[in-house]
């Protein structure tokens, strides 16, 4: 089969022939129909996330068809179209797994990082960590839901009953969560790179009540701020923008260093939280939500062999919505 392979951190992916995997016990063989390009992929490829499996096939926003099943599988059958997320498997035994916090598992595996992912024609997934997709979504439209949507949903859940929500970094996750907030009658304030009027216009088209540069304060105090961009200084911007008791949620897996800041902008019980991975329960909840109204993912479709192109665009902030690879 053909796959895009990372041989060394910091180097471009190579489009090469590799052996097609076979499903082991509890696994499914998936014919990949679409795979979203996520900023986490970029952090792995650029070496900002250390110790990946090498050589590695990246990709963890995967939609595909089950073409073979391993021993002990019973949830899916051949022909089913399924979704595969970042969380590939957990141990089920550690204190986190046994307390409903499998996203913090001590011995977890991650799709496209510690096990091969979806930048390929075929892949294997663990059935217990594979999702049933909501109806009505074409594979290429559903793919961004598998991480941008899921992590966005977990981040939004951490905001609790917040009504005025700031989204810093208007990429794949923010463009999905803006639609969720609109459905839930929450108000979104979108923050972009300085002068990015196209992304600001895009945010307003999706339902944001305000959009502006990330170095500006919004016109009202926010209840919560979600930081999607991997820029540590935005944590300070978020703290300045939220009201007393407000929350700043860091949604990325990687972020540049947070500069020092005066204690008074944290005081009044403001909170900073990080989001780590996801649980299967998060996935099930979000797929139910996505079945209640149509999330319109803005996508750019690109051939698998050209995966380095959208990665470069993402690196330079040039993508609108999400990019999706098609084998």
- Respond yes or no on whether the N-terminal peptide bond of residue 150 is cis (omega within 30° of 0): no
What residues in the chain have per-residue pLDDT under 50?
none
The structure's pTM equals 0.95
pLDDT in tens, 52-68: 999 999 999 999 999 99
Domain ranges, residue 198: 150-274
Predicted pLDDT of residue 232: 97
CA dihedral 168, 169, 173, 174 (to 10 degrees): 60
Residues 314 and 284 in one domain: yes
pLDDT in tens, 286-302: 999 999 999 999 999 99
Residues 262 and 287 in one domain: no
Residues 159 and 257 in one domain: yes
Predicted pLDDT of residue 317: 87
Residues 37 and 60 in one domain: yes
Residues 137 and 7 in one domain: yes
Give the CATH number for residue 174.
3.40.50.720
Residue 136: φ, ψ to 5°: 90, 5
Residues 137 and 8 in one domain: yes
Identify the domain boundary among 239, 259, 274. Answer: 274
Q: Using CA of residue 304, residue 66, residue 140, residue 132, what is the dihedral sign?
A: negative
Angle between helices 148-158 and 172-183 (to 10 degrees): 50
3-state helix, strand, coil in the chain (%, to 5): 30, 30, 45
Residues 136 and 29 in one domain: yes
| Helices first, then strands: H and E counts in the chain | 8, 17
Residues 20 and 7 in one domain: yes
Residues 176 and 121 in one domain: no
Question: DSSP letters of 213-233?
Answer: ETTSPPSS-EEEEEE-SS-TH
Nearest to 30 by CA among 113, 109, 139: 139
Task: Compute CA 53 distance to the chain's CA centroid, rounded to the nearest angstrom.
Answer: 20
pLDDT in tens, 102-134: 999 999 999 999 999 999 999 999 999 999 999
Identify the domain boundary among 230, 258, 274. Answer: 274
Give the CATH number for residue 93.
3.90.180.10
Residues 27 and 142 in one domain: yes
Residues 140 and 215 in one domain: no
**Count of domains for the chain:** 2
Which tokens go with 174?
């923010």
Tell me the residue ranges of DSSP E strands in the chain.
2-5, 14-17, 27-37, 61-69, 81-84, 87-89, 109-110, 122-126, 131-132, 164-168, 187-192, 210-213, 222-227, 242-250, 271-274, 299-303, 322-326
Q: How far apart (Å, rounded) are the C-alpha atoms in residues 129 and 251?
A: 21
Residues 248 and 314 in one domain: no
Which tokens go with 85?
């997320």
């Amino acid at each position: 089969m053909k796959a895009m392979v990372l041989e060394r951190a910091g180097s471009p992916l190579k489009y090469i022939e590799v052996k097609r995997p076979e499903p082991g016990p509890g696994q499914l063989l998936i014919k990949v129909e679409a795979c979203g390009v996520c900023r986490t992929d970029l952090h792995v490829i650029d070496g900002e996330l250390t110790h990946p499996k090498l050589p590695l096939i990246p990709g963890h926003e995967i939609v595909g068809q089950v073409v073979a099943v391993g021993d002990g599988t019973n949830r899916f059958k051949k022909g089913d179209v399924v979704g595969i997320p970042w969380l590939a498997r957990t141990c089920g035994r550690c204190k986190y797994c046994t307390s409903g916090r499998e996203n913090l598992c001590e011995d977890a595996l991650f799709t496209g990082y510690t096990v091969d992912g979806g930048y390929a024609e075929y892949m294997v997934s663990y059935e217990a960590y594979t999702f049933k997709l909501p109806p009505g979504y074409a594979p290429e439209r559903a793919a961004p839901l598998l991480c941008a949507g899921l992590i966005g949903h977990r981040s939004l859940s951490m905001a609790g009953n917040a009504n005025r929500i700031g989204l810093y970094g208007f990429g794949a996750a923010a463009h999905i969560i803006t639609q969720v907030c609109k459905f839930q009658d929450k108000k979104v304030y979108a923050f972009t790179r300085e002068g990015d009027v196209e992304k600001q216009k895009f945010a307003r088209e999706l339902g944001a009540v305000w959009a502006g540069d990330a170095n500006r304060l919004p016109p009202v105090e926010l209840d919560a701020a979600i930081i999607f961009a991997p820029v540590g200084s935005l944590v300070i911007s978020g703290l300045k923008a939220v009201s007393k008791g407000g929350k700043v949620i860091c949604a990325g897996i990687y972020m540049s260093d947070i500069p020092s800041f005066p204690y008074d902008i944290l005081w009044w019980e403001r909170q900073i939280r990080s989001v780590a991975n996801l649980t299967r329960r998060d996935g099930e909840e979000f797929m139910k939500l996505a079945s209640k109204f149509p999330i319109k993912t803005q996508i750019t479709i690109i051939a698998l062999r050209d995966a380095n192109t959208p990665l470069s665009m993402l690196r330079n902030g040039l993508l609108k919505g999400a990019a999706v690879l098609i084998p």
